[in-house]
Amino acid sequence: MTLKIKNFIIKNAPLLTTITIFILVFIMGGVLYPAMQKPQVFFNLFINTASLLIVSIGMTFVIITRGIDLSVAGMIAMTSAASAALLAKGANIFIVVPLMLVMGITFGFALGCIIHYLKVQPFIVTLMGLFFARGMAYIITLEALPIKDPVYRMLALTKVHIPLFEKTYLYIPSLIGPILLIIAIYLSHWTRFGRTVYAIGNNEQSARLMGLPVGRTIITVYALSGFCSALAGIVWSISLLSGYGGYAPGMELDAIASVVIGGTLLTGGVGGVIGTLFGVLINGTIVSLLQFNGTLSSWWTRIGVGLLTLIFIGIQSIFYMRRKHA
Amino acid sequence: MKNSVPLLKRMRESRLFWPIVAMALILLVDAIFAPGFFKVGILDGHLYGNIVDAFNNSAPLMLVSLGMTLVIATGGVDLSVGAVIAISAAMGAVLINPALGNKLITNDILTKDATNTPLWLIVLATLGAGTLCGLWNGLLVSRAKIQPMVATLILMVAGRGIAQLITNGQIMTIYFTPYFWFGNGFILGLPVSIYIVALVFIIAWVLVRKTSIGLFIESVGINAKATYYSGISEKNIKLFVYIFSGFCAAIAGLILSSYVHSADGNNNGLNYELDAILAVVIGGTLMSGGRFSLLASLVGALIIWTFTITMYTFGVPANALLAGRAVLVLLVILLYSDYARRLLNRIFSLG
């Protein structure tokens, strides 16, 4: 039994470190600022990081296949701007939302095709995607467009009370991330697609030799990431009730940092979406710590996230080297 | 029978061929649709015009791409250049007037055209700050063995925070006139920044082509392990290229902050890492490392800015230009992909 536990710990070391650090940071916050002990603060993390969680889930799949998707934040901006413009023209929300999701999938699909068929590095292709999406958003509208759609307002302002905890609530859009997370966990661990994703990340050559559909999977992964970012864009525009090309600046970096903090290796093949959840939560906790402090300025967030990324990469490389030597 | 290879083919195999074709295409579009584009005049004894602007504006990008070329040639990438630009710009602004970030001090002290620190010290500190950032990246990559993309991502995320920390979160306006010389000055009618680029380029060129460093860099990029076994200190080569990249970014920061008369931790050098990578890729250096050409990267940087200025001439708003730049990247990708090359080669060989 002890051996089993030991094996479990060794196997999941990066994930456990992430969770431990999250708990430590959160407890530290609670000790420093007693107001942070309220359960609502924990749920606020989900409200504040709703979009980040969604894009990070898509990003995790991409990074596991050894790729990277820099276009996510651009996609959020484009989705928010496009949906705001369509809604302002009087389009029905039940047409707009599916349309946006299809747009995201198509966009990701196109990027995936360029990456796979033209053999260009994902880094450059998705960078182009970022430029393109942001540019398109600015072509749609040069200033922030308000959204006055009643359904959007309803979604944005309805509180969902959480059972067991008194006086705690979430908004409807912040539920999408956790639901997507459950789907993503199922997808990555119990489906053929998920297995193929890990196989490609570990060694694309042998995945191909095993007869796995490498090309199809890579394209699907980017399409999935496009879908996630479009979804995140809708969530973003619901929570801000507006659309603008400058939204979510630098979120691709936050997403990558969250994925890395969550224990997924950028070299591919190792990691998972559960870690990503905690990476995102750590990111959110740092932000709320700064808010509770009040005197520290916003730039400490960036420094803090950078430092944490450094620490995690350090931990990862130690584990990685050990495994290599063993 | 050396000349048996046709001239056209020899030209096509040159590293500079595709960048120059791209440049020619852009200029051709200008010549047809915007005849005023090539107008060059003389004002106050200085040359001015779109072409001069293209050189002057692309100077910081050219510098950054020089450093980036060497980094990419070793098979790495430096994502932190934009943040390093911001850090060094902030450093310069703070040293010029240490009171700038302080709201309590009266306006005439803040807007004084003077400095407490000698100019040479400011320049030295600015360059030193960037070089230090490069050293940090280099140590992470070469000694801690962290993937270049991840190692430099750390500074990319944290760097802008550090820049804001230095300037105390303020956008610092600089009022010290001698400092403006780097970005706005003229020597013999040409902008100073062009001379700076030329100087750095010559130093870099001599370093990589007249000493063995260039060869070592290429060999690290092609096979780091083999390089190590053949007795070359691959670690130090990597360390060197990141330091050089930081140094170049620092000069770019100096020029940029002097050009816009201010230091802004959030916006100085925004998207420069992306543009620099784009410039290097347009210049034909492979992202996987190996052979590189400094001159081609310079042309790449120039292409990006000529394209930008062309778009401005056509009245495309600056924000929407991002989409145009994306199309440019797509074209470059298509042009450099094996399929496109094979197709072109077939067409050329038929002709």
Question: Which positions ≥6 away from A22 have C-beta within 8 Å?
Answer: A278, A281, A282, A285
Task: Select the highest-mean-pLDDT range: A44-58, A144-158, B105-119.
Answer: A44-58
Asked if the model's pLDDT at residue B170 lies above 90, the reply is no
Task: Please report whether residue B10 resides in a domain.
Answer: no
Question: What whole-number distance in Å separates Cα of residue B269 and Cα of residue B300?
Answer: 17
Q: What is the CATH number of the domain that holds B308?
A: 1.10.3470
Minimum mean pLDDT range among A220-224, B147-151, B199-203: B147-151
Q: Cβ contacts (< 8 Å) between B162 and chain A: which residues?
A: 299, 303
Compute the average pLDDT of residues B255-263.
88
Compute the average pLDDT of residues A285-309.
79
Q: Cβ contacts (< 8 Å) between A139 and chain B: which residues?
A: 320, 323
Residue B47 — very low, low, confident or very high, per pLDDT cuts 50/70/90?
Answer: confident
* Residue B248 confidence (pLDDT): 96
Q: Which residue has the higher pLDDT, B7 or A57?
A: A57
Residue B101 — very low, low, confident or very high, per pLDDT cuts 50/70/90?
Answer: low
Q: Cβ contacts (< 8 Å) between B145 and chain A: which residues?
A: 317
Q: Do B333 and A260 touch (CB under 8 A)?
A: no
CA distance A43 to chain B (A): 26
Minimum mean pLDDT range among A38-52, A186-200, B280-294: B280-294
Residue B157 — very low, low, confident or very high, per pLDDT cuts 50/70/90?
Answer: confident
Asked if the model's pLDDT at residue B104 lies above 70, the reply is no
Q: Do B164 and A309 touch (CB under 8 A)?
A: no
* Residue A61 confidence (pLDDT): 96
* Among the partner residues A121, A138, A317, nearest to B287 by beta-carbon distance: A121
* Residue B1 confidence (pLDDT): 43
Q: Which residue has the higher pLDDT, A234 or B4?
A: A234
* Residue A171 confidence (pLDDT): 87
Please list the residues that pair with A56 across neighbouring strands.
none
Question: What whole-number distance in Å separates Cα of residue A173 and Cα of residue A237?
Answer: 10
| Domain boundaries along the sequence of chain A | 43-248
Q: Cβ contacts (< 8 Å) between A59 and chain B: which residues?
A: none
Q: Which pair of tokens denotes residue B304?
A: 């990006």
* Among the partner residues A135, A309, A317, nearest to B322 by beta-carbon distance: A135
Asked if the model's pLDDT at residue B341 lies above 80, the reply is no
Q: Which of A127, A300, A307 is the best mutation test for B, with the most CBs of B within 10 A?
A: A127
Asked if the model's pLDDT at residue A230 lies above 60, the reply is yes
Residue B105 — very low, low, confident or very high, per pLDDT cuts 50/70/90?
Answer: low
Compute the average pLDDT of residues B269-284.
84
Q: Is B189 left (phi over 0), alpha (psi -120 to 50) or beta?
A: left
Task: Please report whether residue B132 resides in a domain.
Answer: yes
Compute the average pLDDT of residues B24-42.
80
Q: Cβ contacts (< 8 Å) between B334 and chain A: which residues?
A: 118
Compute the average pLDDT of residues B275-289.
84
> What is the rounded average pLDDT for all residues in chain B?
83
Task: Select the highest-mean-pLDDT range: A64-73, A269-278, B206-215, B241-250.
Answer: B241-250
Residue of A nearest to B276 (CA): A124
Q: Cβ contacts (< 8 Å) between A118 and chain B: which residues?
A: 333-334, 337, 339
* Residue A176 confidence (pLDDT): 92
Q: Do A125 and B333 touch (CB under 8 A)?
A: yes
Compute the average pLDDT of residues B46-63.
85
* Residue B125 confidence (pLDDT): 92
Q: Which residue has the higher pLDDT, B108 or B299?
A: B299
CA dihedral sign of residues B293, B298, B301, B303: negative
Q: Which residue has the higher pLDDT, A5 or B74?
A: B74
- Percent above pLDDT 70 for chain B: 89
Q: Do A299 and B154 touch (CB under 8 A)?
A: no
Compute the average pLDDT of residues B207-230.
90
Residue A196 — very low, low, confident or very high, per pLDDT cuts 50/70/90?
Answer: very high
Question: Could you tell me if the ipTM is greater than 0.90?
Answer: no
| Helix residue ranges, H only, A210-326 | 214-240, 251-261, 273-293, 299-325
Question: What whole-number distance in Å separates Cα of residue A39 and Cα of residue B307?
Answer: 53
DSSP per-residue codes, B275-315:
HHHHHHHHTT--TT-S---HHHHHHHHHHHHHHHHHHHHTT
Please list the residues that pair with A169 across neighbouring strands.
A161
Tell me if residue A244 falls in helix, strand or coil: coil
Question: What whole-number distance in Å separates Cα of residue B207 and Cα of residue B229?
Answer: 23
Alpha-carbon Rg for chain B in angstroms: 21
Minimum mean pLDDT range among A275-289, B109-123, B230-244: B109-123
Task: Please report whether residue B3 resides in a domain.
Answer: no
Tell me if residue A92 falls in helix, strand or coil: coil
Question: What whole-number distance in Å separates Cα of residue A69 and Cα of residue A225?
Answer: 8
The CA-to-CA distance between both ends of chain B, in Å, stands at 22
| Angle between helical axes of A214-240 and A192-202 (0-180°, round to 10) | 110
Question: What whole-number distance in Å separates Cα of residue A69 and Cα of residue A56?
Answer: 10
Compute the average pLDDT of residues A12-29.
86
* Residue B107 confidence (pLDDT): 62
pLDDT in tens, B177-187: 888 888 888 88
- Do the beta carbons of residue B166 and residue B92 sit within 8 Å? no
Task: Please report whether residue B6 resides in a domain.
Answer: no
Task: Please report whether residue B340 resides in a domain.
Answer: no
Q: Do B154 and A314 touch (CB under 8 A)?
A: no
In the DSSP assignment, the letter for residue A243 is: E
pLDDT in tens, B288-334: 788 888 999 999 999 888 888 888 888 877 777 778 778 877 777 77
Q: Cβ contacts (< 8 Å) between B147 and chain A: which residues?
A: 266-267
Q: Cβ contacts (< 8 Å) between A302 and chain B: which residues?
A: 157-158, 160-161, 164
Q: Which pair of tokens denotes residue B10?
A: 């020899």
* Residue B110 confidence (pLDDT): 62
DSSP per-residue codes, B197-210:
HHHHHHHHHIIIII
Compute the average pLDDT of residues A255-272.
86
Q: Which residue has the higher pLDDT, B208 or B101?
A: B208
Asked if the model's pLDDT at residue B252 lies above 90, the reply is yes
- B158 has a chain A CB within 8 A of its CB: yes
- Do the beta carbons of residue B250 and residue B269 sit within 8 Å? no
Residue of A nearest to B280 (CA): A124
Q: Which pair of tokens denotes residue B37?
A: 């584009």
CA distance A128 to chain B (A): 5
> How would you class B128 by CB atoms within 10 Å of its CB: exposed for 0-12, middle for 13-18, buried for 19 or more?
middle
Q: Phi and psi for B112 in degrees, rounded to 5?
A: -65, 140
Q: Do B161 and A306 touch (CB under 8 A)?
A: yes
| Enclosing H/E stretch for B173 | strand B172-173
Q: Which residue has the higher pLDDT, B148 or B138?
A: B138
Asked if the model's pLDDT at residue B228 lies above 70, the reply is yes
Residue of A nearest to B270 (CA): A250
Q: How many domains does chain B contain in total? A: 1
Question: Could you tell me the pTM of the whole model?
Answer: 0.83
Compute the average pLDDT of residues B78-101.
84
* Residue A286 confidence (pLDDT): 85
Compute the average pLDDT of residues B7-14.
66
> What is the rounded average pLDDT for all residues in chain A?
87
Q: Which of B77, B141, B150, B287 is the best mutation test for A, with the most CBs of A within 10 A?
A: B150
* Residue A302 confidence (pLDDT): 78
Give me the domain span that covers residue B71.
Answer: 47-315
Question: What whole-number distance in Å separates Cα of residue B20 and Cα of residue B26?
Answer: 10
* Residue B99 confidence (pLDDT): 62
Q: Cβ contacts (< 8 Å) between A125 and chain B: which residues?
A: 333
Task: Please report whether residue B171 resides in a domain.
Answer: yes
Chain B, window 73-92: residues with a beta carbon less than 8 angstroms from a chain A beta carbon: 77
CA distance B87 to chain A (A): 13
- B333 has a chain A CB within 8 A of its CB: yes
- B343 has a chain A CB within 8 A of its CB: no
CA distance B140 to chain A (A): 10
Asked if the model's pLDDT at residue B201 lies above 70, the reply is yes
Q: Which residue has the higher pLDDT, A226 or A316?
A: A226
Compute the average pLDDT of residues A40-65.
92
Half-sphere exposure of B300 (CA within 13 A, CB side): 30
Residue B278 — very low, low, confident or very high, per pLDDT cuts 50/70/90?
Answer: confident
Task: Select the highest-mean-pLDDT range: B149-163, B212-226, B279-293.
Answer: B212-226
Residue labelled with tokens 């076994």: B229
Q: Do B144 and A134 touch (CB under 8 A)?
A: no
* Residue B332 confidence (pLDDT): 74
Task: Please report whether residue B264 resides in a domain.
Answer: yes
Task: Please report whether residue B225 resides in a domain.
Answer: yes
Q: Do A119 and B330 touch (CB under 8 A)?
A: no
* Residue A265 confidence (pLDDT): 83
**∠ CA A269-B277-B192, rounded to 5°:** 155
Question: What whole-number distance in Å separates Cα of residue B313 and Cα of residue B30?
Answer: 9
